[in-house]
């Protein structure tokens, strides 16, 4: 019956608008929720069938979805481990409750932003129990290879608040001028001495004692020196001896002409480095390439030394951790030493809106979302990782209020249809009177 189909269509209209009202209510309620993705209700017409001279109302049905690919605005915070993605992609997380369960397999969820802070065990987690997952770095700060199409290899990011670390010196650069007058006939031949600090494998301060002894000729100028290097960590033992000759040609005077190895590590003329072996490991001592005005020079009558440039640092206490744009989590120590401890990948799927929505702005991979791939942040289609930042809600309150007005009007109109059908049915029953 046509009138009955009109009644059913009006009821369907009430139901679908009630669903839309529910999504609008959720969106407005979560307008201040970080990382919230707005819900949307889409209406679809239903056609029962059309006969000649008659029409039956099929009504309407509704489908709801979560607009996960829509992004909110990023805002800055004062917490270095507040993390957001500046574009496409999501962070891998797990639940804090899962850490206490037996077995090594942890359920992986996804989120676009989170305020992660260390708990009593140093594990980075949010107030709602989401634990940040990442790939651990090797002890030397390098990243081993991990599979990109699976979550295998990910583990909870854990920071040792009382962690100490030292960085051994592996490279030193000398900038020294030796006096040319010391290699002239009649000079006293006294050696010149300097020391250069370095840090050993335990973060202890050691030093190299470097003696420069001029070769004094019977006549003229030799422009030649004997460089002797001693290591304090080896009780002052000699670890290298080299005969160094300087050029006296116009335009190139005072620069290195030759370096001859007597003992110790070899001199590389391409890099200008001497490969020393101190007690604990190798150190490249940069003295400059041949003809280079940097490094060792021999000019005038003065012995001048610039500060030694070196890497490494003494033992330091961990002060903070920060994430860079590529997702590398760096531990920063009060000694100035910085070391990579984790890499946080950015997870992407072909259909973001196909993910399953969970509580607390978390999502789960589904058949509709497609397979995962773990990218370095900023590579491929993914955005860069942003520390000191959180993503605001994707809700546009003005747009939601506008839809609220439209939904209210539509609901009232469908209620009017039901009222009209009721009056028409009443007239039908009155025919018998």
- Strand-pair category, 237-246 with 256-264: antiparallel
Find where tokens 């002409």 sit: 257
Mean pLDDT calculated for residue range 313-330: 91
Within 198-355, residue ranges assigned H as helices are none
Decide if pLDDT at 1 tops 60. no
pLDDT at 103: 62
Decide which of 3.30.310, 2.60.120, 2.60.98, 3.30.1490 is the CATH code for 171-311. 2.60.98
Tally of CB atoms within 10 A around 282? 11
pLDDT for the residue numbered 115: 97
Angle 210-213-214 (CA atoms, 0-180°, nearest 5)?
140
Q: 323 falls in which pLDDT band (50, 70, 90)?
A: very high
CB–CB of 287/261 below 8 Å?
no
Backbone angles phi, psi at 394, to 5 degrees: -85, 5
Residue with tokens 């009443």: 426
Higher pLDDT, 2 or 29: 29
- Position 373 scores a pLDDT of 97
- Three-state SS for 308? coil
The pLDDT value recorded for residue 244 is 97
Domain-wise residue ranges, the chain: 2-70+394-430, 74-166+316-391, 171-311
Q: Give the containing element (helix H, strand E) for 402.
A: helix 397-430
Question: How large is the angle between the packed helices 2-29 and 397-430, nearest 10 degrees?
Answer: 160
pLDDT band at 155 (very low <50, low <70, confident <90, very high): very high
Average pLDDT on 85-98 reads: 95
Our measurement of the distance from residue 408's CA atom to the centroid of its chain's CA atoms, rounded to an integer in Å, reads 46
Whole-number Å distance between alpha carbons of 399 and 297? 72
* 3-class secondary structure, 46: coil
Q: What proportion of the chain, given as a percentage, has pLDDT over 70?
A: 97
- Note the pLDDT of residue 197: 94
| Mean pLDDT in residue range 12-22 | 93
Residues 13 and 410: beta-carbon distance below 8 Å: yes
What average pLDDT does this structure show over 425-430? 84
Of residues 428, 427, 375, 425, the one with CA closest to residue 6: 425
Task: For residue 53, name the pLDDT band (cuts at 50, 70, 90).
Answer: low
The per-residue pLDDT of the chain, averaged, comes to 92
User: Would you list the DSSP string of 94-156?
Assistant: EEGGGGGSSSS----EEESEEE-EE-TTSBEE-TTSEEEEEEEPPTTSPPPP--SSS-TT-EE
Nearest 5°: the CA angle 367, 371, 375 is 150
Number of neighbours of residue 173 by Cβ within 10 angstroms: 20
Q: How confident is the model at residue 242 (pLDDT cuts 50, 70, 90)?
A: very high
Strand partners, 241: 228, 263
* Alpha carbon distances (Å) from 171 to 278, 306, 333: 12, 16, 20
Mean pLDDT of 233-254: 94
What pLDDT score does 198 carry?
95
* pLDDT surpasses 90 at 324: yes
The C-alpha atoms of residue 366 and residue 68 are separated, in whole angstroms, by 14
What confidence score (pLDDT) does residue 74 get?
97
Q: Region 406-410: what's the mean pLDDT?
A: 94
Task: Kindly state the average pLDDT of the residues 21-44.
Answer: 95
User: What is residue 51's predicted lDDT score, i.e. its pLDDT?
Assistant: 62
Q: Which of 181, 166, 148, 210 is nearest to 348 (CA)?
A: 148
CA atoms within 13 A of residue 48's CA, in its CB half-sphere: 14
Phi then psi for residue 403, to 5 deg, are -65, -30
pLDDT at 289 exceeding the cut of 70: yes
Residue 318: per-residue pLDDT = 86
Task: Encode pLDDT of 156-211 as tens digits.
Answer: 999 976 667 778 999 999 999 999 999 999 999 999 999 999 999 888 899 999 99
Quick one: which H or E segment has residue 264? strand 256-264
Radius of gyration in angstroms for the set of CA atoms belonging to the chain, rounded to a whole number: 37
């Amino acid at each position: 019956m046509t009138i009955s189909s009109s009644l059913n269509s009006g009821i369907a209209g009430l139901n679908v608008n009630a669903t839309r009202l529910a999504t609008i209510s959720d969106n407005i309620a979560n307008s201040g929720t970080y990382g919230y993705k707005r819900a949307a209700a889409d209406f679809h017409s239903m056609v029962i069938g059309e006969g000649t001279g008659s029409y039956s109302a099929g009504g309407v049905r509704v489908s709801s979805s979560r607009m996960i690919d829509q992004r909110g605005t990023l805002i800055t915070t004062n917490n270095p481990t507040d993390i957001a993605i500046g574009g496409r992609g999501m962070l891998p997380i797990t639940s804090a409750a899962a850490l206490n369960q037996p077995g090594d397999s942890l359920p992986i969820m996804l989120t676009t932003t989170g305020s992660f802070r260390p708990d009593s065990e140093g594990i980075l987690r949010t107030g709602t129990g989401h634990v940040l997952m990442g790939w651990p770095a090797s002890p030397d700060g390098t990243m081993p290879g991990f599979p990109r199409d699976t979550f295998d290899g990910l583990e909870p990011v854990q920071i040792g608040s009382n962690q100490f670390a030292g960085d051994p010196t592996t490279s030193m650069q000398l900038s020294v001028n030796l006096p040319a007058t010391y290699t002239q006939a009649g000079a006293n031949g006294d050696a010149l001495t300097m020391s250069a600090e370095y840090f050993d494998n335990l973060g202890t301060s050691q030093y190299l004692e470097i003696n420069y002894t001029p070769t004094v000729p019977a006549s003229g100028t030799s422009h030649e020196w004997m460089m002797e290097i001693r290591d304090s960590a080896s009780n002052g033992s000699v670890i290298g001896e080299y005969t160094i000759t300087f050029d006296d040609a116009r335009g190139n005077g005072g620069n290195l002409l030759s370096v001859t190895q007597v003992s110790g590590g070899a001199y590389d003329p391409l890099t200008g480095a001497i490969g020393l072996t101190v007690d604990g490991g190798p150190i490249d001592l940069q003295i400059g390439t041949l003809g280079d005005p940097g490094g060792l020079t021999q000019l005038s009558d003065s012995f001048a030394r610039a500060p030694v440039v070196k890497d490494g640092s003494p033992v330091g206490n961990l002060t903070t951790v920060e994430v860079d744009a590529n997702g590398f989590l760096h531990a920063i120590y009060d000694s100035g030493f910085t070391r990579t401890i984790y890499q946080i990948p950015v997870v992407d799927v072909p259909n973001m809106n196909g993910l399953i929505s969970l509580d607390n702005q978390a999502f789960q991979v589904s058949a509709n979302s497609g397979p995962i791939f773990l990218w370095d942040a900023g590579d491929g289609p993914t955005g860069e990782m942003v520390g000191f930042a959180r993503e605001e809600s994707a809700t546009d309150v003005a747009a939601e209020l506008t839809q609220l007005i439209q939904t209210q009007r539509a609901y009232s109109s469908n209620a009017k249809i039901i009222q009209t059908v009721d009056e028409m049915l009443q007239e039908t029953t009155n025919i018998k009177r």
